[in-house]
Chains A and B, each alone.
Chain A
């Protein structure tokens, strides 16, 4: 038996804080329902967990056989917790018009974030699976949270059914790897044909959550139907957590470096970049556009992965998360629970610059960052990924990136131009925007710019 003491638990303090807070919040809800209190409690918990993750020393630590912490994991923990914090922050104004059962929302967000942390730190297949489910199950509920609202229910159901299929693939892959190595721990066992099959199935299972191209069909519908802060969580924290799990598997198992597998991965990356960008062009709703562009973004990340350049992946993901959160924070300020369907349509966004100049500027900054324009964070991310690709001579994929970025530039700039067009005046229903929304939107937009001009802050 593994020596197991309380001091080792200290290394997973963020997970403990979040899970403890989830249980505590459940008890609070049972006795006393208050939206404001649930929000403040969750917000403080996320902040505490973020501080705990930030202040750990980043040395390699094993917590039982199941989890392993390192400075790489710590970086991703901070990213996941930051996304969770922002999603909590934009939830409060978003939920102000709903009347019932708002408190559970925060409980589910806490559990989902804890699941993301577990997934990131997992060093054992059982923990990989538990972390994935711990993150996904609250997200099914959150995606379907607006029960009166058909698209939201549809999003929840689609995500549930397709995730279950993906989990089955993942489990089957794990079983095959277990059959060939006899261990569920992440150990770099030599590859065999059985391992290759298992690795392929695991790739399909995780690729679903990352919406790489053959597994991407669910993304736009779920993004569009889910409530705005949930979409933000799906696009950032959820994807980052699965990505780091995949990065670990890729680094540890030699089976993923076999020629057949590398060829498959290159195809997936190229197809994701191309198809994500091409399909994004036809969209008329910003949420769907962001869904397709996220498919392309996770194709770009692949170049860093195939170049074994962890710094490039980390920087790209960090810039992607900040830019995405900015966009979703703006969209969530403009909508409330139940009316997302129109809030992100071009018609609603036309002339935003004249109604809410600050929000329009922030949205423009985030879109420019995603397009990779210099002076924004996205440029730095794309620069590192391209440099990694050039160093490892992946010319085919780099060509894809160039084509994809050109298409991306077109549709991102088109949205920016829509924002600054003169729209018909909408006298009615200009919802007041709370200071909390302005805080997040402006803070995140400022962050996008600061990271763009001073990237050494996070390298």
Chain B
């Protein structure tokens, strides 16, 4: 299990470096997905299975895939498609896929042997829910207020004609 932890940590560092160093935003996002997956793996190895699952579903699954979609959708048109083709060549996938496969094999191995480590204690989804809506209810409500503020800011910054004008200047 210790090997799994260090391997996942190594992949996390490597893929984060790849995310920062790659010039192409799509490549960077792919590396970032791998980085988040490896962080999820670290959660699994220390026994926080629920946190690991959340990391995968919420960050890698939802948020970053949304990023990739937006990145793709912003570049419509034939010329841009051409650019994208050069961006997303098959060999782009090699390193991220290799790292992902490594993580996947690790995860399968962990689940196969089905022994969760002794470090920490396992927290179930139910316990997390009870904690969130019990003693941490104020934190949950205030976090929702953060989202409201972020939404209003995004709405304001996303005004169409004003932004166009400022770009035109």
Contacts and interface: CB of A to CB of B under 8 A. Distances in A.
B130 interface: yes
A4 B142 contact: no
Interface in A129-144: 130-131, 133-134, 137-138, 140-141, 144
Given A2-B134, A130-B142, 9 more contacts: A1-B135, A4-B137, A22-B145, A26-B152, A100-B159, A108-B149, A108-B153, A126-B139, A150-B166
Given A26-B148, A100-B162, A148-B165, A66 B156 contact: no
Interface of B: 130, 134-139, 141-143, 145-146, 148-150, 152-153, 155-157, 159, 162-163, 165-166, 169
Given A101-B159, A108-B152, A150-B166, A4 B145 contact: no
Nearest to A1: B134
A101 B153 CA distance: 11
Contacts, number: 92
B138 A63 contact: yes
Contact of A1 (B130, B150, B166): B130
A23 B142 CA distance: 12
A140 B130 CA distance: 33
Interface centre among A4, A127, A147 (most CB of B within 10 A): A147
Majority secondary structure of chain A interface residues (helix, strand, loop or mixed): helix
B148 A111 contact: yes
A65 interface: yes
Contact of A64 (B135, B143, B152, B166): B135
A150 B165 CA distance: 11
A444 B136 CA distance: 39
Contacts of B159: 100-101, 147
A271 interface: no
Closest 5 CB pairs of A and B: A141-B153, A111-B149, A138-B149, A2-B135, A1-B134
A147 B138 contact: no
A4 B169 CA distance: 55
A100 B130 CA distance: 44
Contact of B163 (A22, A118, A138, A147): A147
